[in-house]
Homo-oligomer: A and B are copies of this chain.
Amino acid sequence: MADPIRVVQYGLGPIGSAIARHVVERRGLTLVGAVDIDPQKVGRDAGEVIGLERPLGFPIRARLSEVLAETSADVAVHSTSSYFKLFKPQITEILEAGLDVVSTAEELSFPWIAHPTEAEEIDAVARRCGKTVLGTGVNPGFLMDTLPITLTAICQSVDHIAVTRVVDASKRRGPFQLKIGAGMTPEAFQEKMATGRMGHVGLRESMDHIADTLGRRLVHYEEHMEPVLAEHPIYTPYVEVKPGQVRGLKQIGRGYTESGEFIVLTFIAALEAGDEQDIILIEGKPDLEVVLRGTNGDLATVAMAVNVIPRVVTAPPGLVTMRDLPPVHYW
């Protein structure tokens, strides 16, 4: 059997820690280091910080260079921020340190159209370093882009694509419940929404990923977000929602070609959102309807970030997207 792939986890929030735990339990991978800037975490044993019941024998470091002074590594799984402005120097640092990168950064999942300059810069760094970088996750990265793209394989024509994802936030972690506005007043929701740092990041990237892959040019985008309000009190371990307060959000992205609307992506995440499911409707020849249940966002993002590691380690250098890789799968 081949030597295990040596993994550094970069970023130890809830998702990063879950990825690190999954790396530890997967055959073929070894967690050799972990990076986080949180002073509460730095210096403590990685096993303790990520929530294992045993120590891993190495501490969390504030800087990647400190990790690599103590161990070699093949790949970093990067899970810090959604936004280029924040993650770009981190990705560059990892590539220049000689590691391949799997990132859960939403804006990195398909940046060629929304962030062409930054994408080209990262691509150039990756090629110069001979390393590969991929942004992925369950969404963006799979449900609203890779999977619909994959389904069009059995279509002779594609006229319109609609994907709706319903997430029942009651089953999700605290930061997620807060991120979707649960417990806010409608006014506070509107105010936070106005800052642009609210809700799901990635609708634009998923639309670009689909349209560009299918050879369509989107000439106009619309995004719309609104609060979903509670009609009765809701209590979770993390938040309390009074009637009239926000229990979640509904977000819609539409992409238009010159012939009209081509893609509509709807993301609903709320406490008591009801039946969790993803619905993919492709109008074309033939029309396809695909309904998925069980695509738990946290479990699925962790799985994707880890399952893709062997593909990224063997891919040619550069910034790649999911459409460039053979099917990612459990192994």
Near B by CB (< 8 A), chain A positions 148-188 give: 149-158
| A215–B28 alpha-carbon span in the complex (Å) | 12
Contact A153 B288 (CB under 8 A): no
Of A63-71, A259-267, A298-306, the stretch lying at the interface with chain B is: A298-306
Chain B residue contacts of A301, Cβ below 8 A: 154
Contact B286 A330 (CB under 8 A): no
User: How many Å from the CB of A272 to the closest CB on chain B?
Assistant: 20
Chain B residue contacts of A285, Cβ below 8 A: 299, 303
When C-beta atoms are compared, the residue in chain B nearest to A331 turns out to be B215
Name the residue among A290, A304, A306, A330 with the largest chain B CB count within 10 angstroms.
A330
Contact A330 B155 (CB under 8 A): yes
Chain B CB within 8 A of A232 CB:
no
Counted per complex, copies of this chain come to: 2
Q: In the complex, how many residues of chain A place their beta carbon closer than 8 angstroms to a beta carbon of chain B?
A: 50
Contact B286 A158 (CB under 8 A): no
Taken residue by residue from 295 to 326, chain A's Cβ proximity to chain B (1 for < 8 Å, 0 otherwise) reads as 11001111110111000000000000011111
User: Secondary structure at chain A's binding surface: helix, strand, loop or mixed?
Assistant: mixed
| A155–B301 alpha-carbon span in the complex (Å) | 9
User: How many Å from the CB of A218 to the closest CB on chain B?
Assistant: 16
Contact A138 B154 (CB under 8 A): yes
Pick from B147, B153, B296, B299: contact of A303, CB under 8 Å: B153
Pick from B138, B146, B288, B306: contact of A327, CB under 8 Å: B146
Chain B residue contacts of A293, Cβ below 8 A: 288-290
User: How many Å from the CB of A15 to the closest CB on chain B?
Assistant: 13
With contacts A142-B154, A150-B150 taken as known, whether A299 is within 8 angstroms of B286 at the C-beta atoms is: yes
Chain B CB within 8 A of A294 CB:
yes
Chain B CB within 8 A of A22 CB:
yes
When C-beta atoms are compared, the residue in chain B nearest to A306 turns out to be B156
With contacts A152-B307, A154-B300, A154-B304 taken as known, whether A214 is within 8 angstroms of B288 at the C-beta atoms is: no
Chain B residue contacts of A156, Cβ below 8 A: 22, 299, 302-303, 306, 330
Chain B residue contacts of A142, Cβ below 8 A: 153-154
Chain B CB within 8 A of A220 CB:
no
Chain B CB within 8 A of A213 CB:
yes
What are 20 A-B contacts with C-beta separation under 8 Å?
Answer: A142-B154, A146-B153, A152-B307, A153-B303, A153-B307, A153-B327, A153-B329, A154-B303, A154-B307, A155-B300, A155-B303, A158-B330, A284-B330, A285-B303, A286-B299, A289-B293, A290-B293, A323-B326, A325-B326, A326-B326
15 additional A-B pairs beyond A156-B306, A288-B295, A289-B292, beta carbons within 8 Å, are A146-B153, A149-B327, A152-B329, A153-B329, A153-B330, A154-B304, A155-B330, A156-B299, A156-B303, A158-B330, A213-B329, A215-B331, A285-B299, A289-B294, A323-B327
